[in-house]
Amino acid sequence: MKDERFQKTELAVWGGIASNAALACLKGIVGIMAQSSALLADAAHSASRAIASSAALIRVRSDQQPPEELDAQSPEKNLSIASILLAIIVLIIGIEMGISAIHALGSAEEHTDKNYALAALGLSLVVKEIMYQYVSRLGKRIGSQELIANSRGHRSDIYSTIVALIGVFGATLANVLQVPFLSYLDPITGIIISLMILKMGYSLVKEALHRKQEYVLQQEDADDLIAVVQLIKGVITVDDLRAREHGHYVVVTVKISVNPRVTVWEGHEVSKRIKQQLMKRFHHVSDVFVHVAPYDAGYPYKHSTDSELSELPSVIH
């Protein structure tokens, strides 16, 4: 059973990837036409944000994996490698854009008119603000720390576009007012944005390394969580439970068994109650992924009362 909250989180992250990729293409094309270092740097920033969102999508899918698959596939190692590679790509983009902007300083006065570049940046601001509001509100509504963190990324992307807007507007005024000095604002803001990209890359590397060092909570801590789950009506057994630290918060992944005759809706209600109780009782728990499976009375052993469970028409046991 795929968690509805996970589906919404994944859809929002995919939306961020698609919107940033589209904006990166638009601003890249317009930036080349306008010979604008600031616009090209902002396009690179949007592309880097799309890469960062891809890393977030990898983390979300890793957290959604059932506990038994975590051991079988060793996703933490693969996740760290993928995240670090994506972070390196972002760092390379930042370095290349910085070098390009520095070279552009020598020919700033030769830049063409940039009125249509302002229009592209204005459209970018509108799209980014819409994405920020949507992701931020959705993250708070469904309690997804990953989405909340992702929304902060959209906000930093807005700051990048504002900086680019200042540079392009300065270059436009240079042509209108015949003030050559203002044309240097374009490459200077390009350099500033490249530094923002480097900061983003550094944050991705730091986060990937930190995640690599995450550890599963001590058994006694997990036992407290298991005890709460076992008390919830509808849960027959707790097959596995993993609680992992993600920065300053804890994500719990739990697999439970329920009566095989319950409906999908009843199973979903059980998983909702588990999440609500764990987050209510343990304030350090910020996210819970529940995997619901039908109870198998023959594994790993069979009780004399197991035959009675098949007769139960509801989640009550």
In this prediction, residues 167-186 reach a mean pLDDT of 82
- Residue 25: Cβ within 10 Å count: 13
Which pLDDT does position 62 carry in this prediction?
66
The pLDDT, as a whole number, for residue 79 is 57
The whole-number average pLDDT for the span 109-138 is 80
Least confident of 74-83, 152-161, 212-221: 212-221
72-92 confidence digits (pLDDT tens): 444 455 556 777 788 888 899
- Exposed e or buried b for every residue in 140-159, given b needs 16+ CB within 10 A? eebebbbbebbbebbebbbe
Quote the tokens at residue 118: 């302002």
Strands (E) located in the chain: 237-246, 249-258, 285-294
Q: Given this model, what pLDDT does residue 29 score?
A: 92
Cα distance between residue 64 and residue 76, in whole Å: 13
Q: Looking at residues 173-180, what average pLDDT do you find?
A: 77
Residues 6+ apart with CB under 8 A from 64: 2, 3, 6, 289
pLDDT tens, position by position, 4-16: 667 777 788 888 8
* Per-residue pLDDT band at 193 (split at 50, 70, 90): very high
State whether the Cα torsion 91-93-95-101 is positive or negative: negative
Which pLDDT score is estimated for 194? 92
CA distances to 97, 171, 260 from 266, rounded to whole Å, are 53, 62, 11
Closest alpha carbon to 274 in 239, 313, 311: 239
Contact (CB, 8 A) for 236 and 317: yes
Amino acid (1-letter code) at residue 190: G
> What confidence tens digit (pLDDT) does each residue in 296-308 have?
765 544 444 444 4
Dig out the tokens for 168 from the structure.
Answer: 């392009």
pTM of the predicted model as reported, rounded to 2 decimal places: 0.64
User: Is the Cα torsion angle 20, 23, 25, 27 positive or negative in sign?
Assistant: negative
Instruction: Please identify which residue in the block is written with the tokens 């520095």.
Output: 102
Residues 114-118, mean pLDDT to the nearest whole number: 78
